[in-house]
Amino acid sequence: MSSARPATRRSRFLALLPGLGLFTGFLVAWLSSTGRERETPPMHVGRTEARRHPQLRTQRRSAVLRLRRGEPGSGGYYGAWAGSTDPQIVRHIEFQYEGMQHQAETALSGMWLFLTTEVVFFGGLFLLYMVYRLRHLDGIAEASRHTELWIGTVNTVLLLTSSAVFSYGVGRIKEGDNRRLFWASVVTVGLGLAFLLLKFYEWWDDLQKNLFPGPGFAITGSHSGSAQLFWSFYFIGTGLHAIHMIIGIGLVAWVAWSARRQRYLAGWFTPVEVVGLYWSFVDMVWLVLFPTIYLVDRVGS
């Protein structure tokens, strides 16, 4: 019994060591950060911080006054004024960019990088489907014939039309026409909602026909397992696409709201282009889903 107690105390002490180390690390980091703050106040101080710390107000005011037109070292303000004399355009440029072109290229590059990750995400899903389809040709072919081809076709037309309409709006805002961008965005939102309504109806119809994988699945016989694989892909693929559609509709609605308030200019419309890239990607995903689900196993049948 006496030997067990020291072992228990030793194990408790060892269990406390990581917590003590973490606490010590946080304490040292906090003390070092407060020391640095006393020695060198931050150069970029926001309005809220300036109100809370009166000693930084003078420093912030002098930094803002240095942002003069044509003065080197003034960040985005200098680059913007060097390329444009329109203050409405200049106010949209953040300080870390050299000018409007630099800011737009950075935003578009960020969206392209995000879409690349989305391609990898959906690419894995399609690759998995292709592997299963090669192993279960007859079963997946039979399962795909239970899909509603007319709904898939109508939804394809709706999405292609929505992309064309929003592209028209992007072209008009390059001329400073917020009114036409607003109506193009409204029509795009309407077409997107029509797509979702048809898709929800199709899902409801599929559930009524007992095509959801699981107990009571409608397709029986030797191809039942393969058919359930296909319908699993169907619900996962169309469900993920619908989630992206909902996000896209929200973004396009935000563009419409901003255009209604005349926020965009002929020299500043980067958010519209970024949203247009996302909406076009969502359409491209559907253009792969449509033949994969509705067409590929109906050819020659």
Burial class (CB in 10 A: 0-12, 13-18, 19+), 123: exposed
CA distance 35 to 177: 53
Predicted confidence at residue 240, as pLDDT, reads: 96
Here the tokens at position 183 are: 């109506």
What does the mean pLDDT of the chain come to? 79
Catalogue all structural domains in the chain, each as residue range(s) with its CATH number. Answer: 65-98 (no CATH), 102-295 (1.20.120.80)
User: Are 149 and 298 within 8 A, CB to CB?
Assistant: yes
- Residue 217 has what pLDDT? 85
| Full-model pTM | 0.72
Hey, what are 92's tokens? 């949209």
Three-class SS state of 86: coil
Token output for 225: 């397992």
Rounded-to-integer distance, Cα 49 and Cα 45, Å = 6
CA torsion sign for 224, 230, 231, 233 is: positive
More confident residue, 208 or 51: 208
Q: Work out the pLDDT band at 140, boundaries 50, 70, 90.
A: confident
CA distance 147 to 204: 12
